Amino acid sequence: MANRFEGIYPPVITSFTEDGDIYEKGIRNVIGYLMSEGVHGFFINGSYGSGVLMTIEERKRVAEIIHAEVSGRLPIVTHVGEASTRATIELARHAEGLGSAAVAAVAPYYYPGANAYDEGQIIRHYADIAASVGVPTFMYNNPKTSGYTLTSELLAELVKVGVMGMKDSSGSFTLLGEFNQAATRVNPDFACMCGSAGMIQPAFNIGIRGCVSGTANAFPELAVSLYKALEAHDWEKSKELQNLVIAERKIQAAGGFRPAGCYTFLKMKGIDCGTVRRPWREPNDQEARYMKGEAVKLGLLRGDGLSGR
């Protein structure tokens, strides 16, 4: 099962109009562009996808648009995490009906900061999700946004009740390795995906073959090239490209929030991707000029803003 979730999976941004409505054409434009650059799959309605900024019905609509555009050509992991188990299951069943390869759920948010949930409740939450659908259920570990800190010991218990994969956005390479070891001891086919393009190379070198790469929204060609270099065991090229990814990530965050920078870079490339939904904001003109100048210096963009690699 793990083999199905290898390669570069952009956590696809969601396109909105200036008024904050879902912009279907923009979503389709982004998906078409990412597919043309050779990505291996998609992770949708997650953090980059503004999932928690949307209603349940809007999340369903975005999933429907993306599935229609992809048309089964690449696997899609749909993030379905909500604050309640019931809403999460509703989204999971909808995603399964569309043909998602897997569903992923962040730990129930808002209340964990108040210590409302013990480990037994978290285990039951994921067991209920896994039992509700026939596709793999992933744990989406994002402690910065969910307020819940996962341990490798708890992950092993989640695997026992049916969790078959994870996206780890802890930002810690050590934790990523511990999660992978703990989960694969229970299920050797567990699909552990790195949640940061900044760690593609070291993750690959400990056997993790999938990455949900935010960088791949703006520069899919860069993330895909890095993955190909690793597959070819071209360590010098992979070192160069991994360092380039790390530099790009810093530039993309010039406006203070890395996901919002994706829209700005895509527009520089001529992609009609719409805009963010408030309270997010795109980088302002000064920040965008800095982003473009630095990307040109790195060879990621030409002076006209189009791709430079």
pLDDT band at 309 (very low <50, low <70, confident <90, very high): low
Distance from C-alpha of 169 to C-alpha of 176, rounded to nearest angstrom = 9
Q: Domain locations in the chain?
A: 2-234
Contact 292, 46 (CB under 8 A): no
pLDDT at 306: 73
Instruction: Check pLDDT > 70 for residue 56.
Output: yes
pLDDT at 155: 98
Interval 60-117: pLDDT, tens: 999 999 999 999 999 999 999 999 999 999 999 999 999 999 999 999 988 877 678 8
State which fold the 2-234 domain adopts. TIM Barrel (3.20.20)
Interval 98-112: pLDDT, tens: 999 999 999 998 887
Interval 243-285: pLDDT, tens: 999 999 999 999 999 999 999 999 999 999 999 999 999 999 9
Q: What's the farthest any 2 CA atoms get from each other in the chain?
A: 55
| Range scoring the smallest mean pLDDT among 17-26, 55-64, 147-156 | 147-156
Distance from C-alpha of 195 to C-alpha of 124, rounded to nearest angstrom = 24
Question: pTM of whole model > 0.85?
Answer: yes
Strand partners, 166: 139, 192
Residue found by looking up tokens 């956590």 in the block: 11
- With b for 16 or more beta-carbon neighbours within 10 A and e for fewer, the 121-148 pattern comes to ebbebbbbbbebbebbbbbbbbbeebbb
